[in-house]
Amino acid sequence: MTKRAYNFNAGPAALPLEVLQQAQEQFVEFGGAGMSIMEMSHRSSIYENVNNETQSLLRELFGIPDHYKTLFLQGGASTQFGMIPMNLLSEGKTAAFVQTGNWSNKAIKEAKLIGKTAIVATSEENKYTRIPDLSELKLPEETAYLHITSNETIEGIQYSEYPNTGDIPLVGDMSSDILSRPVDVSKFGLIYAGAQKNLGPSGVTLVIIREDLAANSPKTLSSMLRYDTHVNNNSLYNTPPSFSVYMVNLMLKWIASKGGVSAIEQYNRDKTNLIYDAIDSSGGFYRGAADAASRSVMNITFRIHTEELEKQFIKESEAAGFVGLKGHRDVGGLRASTYNAVPLESCKALAAFMSDFQQRNG
């Protein structure tokens, strides 16, 4: 095999080499069935065991309480932007949002199509460079739920702590930092995440939902759009993205082998600190795009003082084996995504490249 790239893609993103190699070994035949897991019925006992084991691993690693259900759905987080208000935003209620960037804006846009919405806090005036102060958060009367985006991949900002909403359900889009750090799931009514950043390949979306919220799914909705449909059928109502769920299974076992979510959190901080240190010690050659207090441990956004140098940085980094360092087209600049599976060695290599690039162009 040729040398693997230094993969800093924002998603689909890096997967551990060990996981890829195990999947390769089991690709043609899985579980002694004489066929790949992609070829077998999702009603088979072999696949049902994978489905159940993956849920159990999630519960153990993420500390999911017994009165929550874990679902493996399709359509990505983008489908959840509409499915959540369809299920939770009833007549006369308001969906409240904290507006922190591109992905929260997309969630707001979709919810407006379903019912009444309110932006209760925003950092738009700061160009989404920080998480807004939520210490004196006031929610409208008859609030159905408060929605937050725990980590904004494009702007590179992340919540350090979550708001306490009392009896009002807190809904969290954790697509880009799920299982990257411990979370008190009991603070949330619903958590959702696309798998393609920290949990596995694209194709499956994780939903963690409190049982009482799922049970109240409106019976007027199409069956596929109701959470209770998937709860009552153990995520097997229709054909699931079976290979993606299997890959999530392997990824969860990999996280467990590394010491669990707390150990992964420290590993992620060690990786991220290497790159933030390269930015902060550059004397202004590099500039972090996010406010220091809101910096993401998953997506490091930064700039160089001229666009010409940024273009040169991208060109030279690609030639050196780095992938995915170009900032999102909406904001420009540079971005390194350091999700769970990005190796420490890749971050060390990037920090060294940044130092060398500065010495040659500073």
Q: Give me the catalytic one of 173, 228, 254, 271.
A: 173
Q: Give me the catalytic one of 3, 69, 93, 103.
A: 103
Q: Is 173 an active-site residue?
A: yes
Q: Give me the catalytic one of 93, 106, 184, 197.
A: 197
In what helix (H) or strand (E) does residue 7 lie, and over which residues does it extend? Answer: strand 6-7
CA 292/CA 282 separation, integer angstroms: 15
Q: Is 103 an active-site residue?
A: yes
Task: Name the residue among 126, 149, 130, 82 with its Cα closest to residue 290.
Answer: 130
Is the distance from CB of 89 to CB of 111 less than 8 angstroms?
yes
95 pairs with which residues across the strands? 117, 145
Catalogue the E-assigned strands of 63-210: 68-73, 94-99, 116-122, 143-149, 151-152, 157-158, 170-173, 190-194, 205-210
- Long-range contacts of 19-28, Cβ-Cβ distance < 8 Å, separation of 24 or more: 19/247, 19/250, 19/251, 19/254, 19/341, 22/250, 23/246, 23/247, 23/250
CB atoms within 10 A of CB 27: 12
Task: Name the residue among 204, 243, 263, 251 with its Cα closest to residue 75.
Answer: 204
Task: Name the residue among 69, 60, 109, 114 with its Cα closest to residue 89.
Answer: 114
Write out the two tokens for 328: 């999102």
Is the distance from CB of 152 to CB of 128 less than 8 angstroms?
yes
DSSP code of residue 295: B
Instruction: Catalogue the active-site residues.
Output: 103, 173, 197
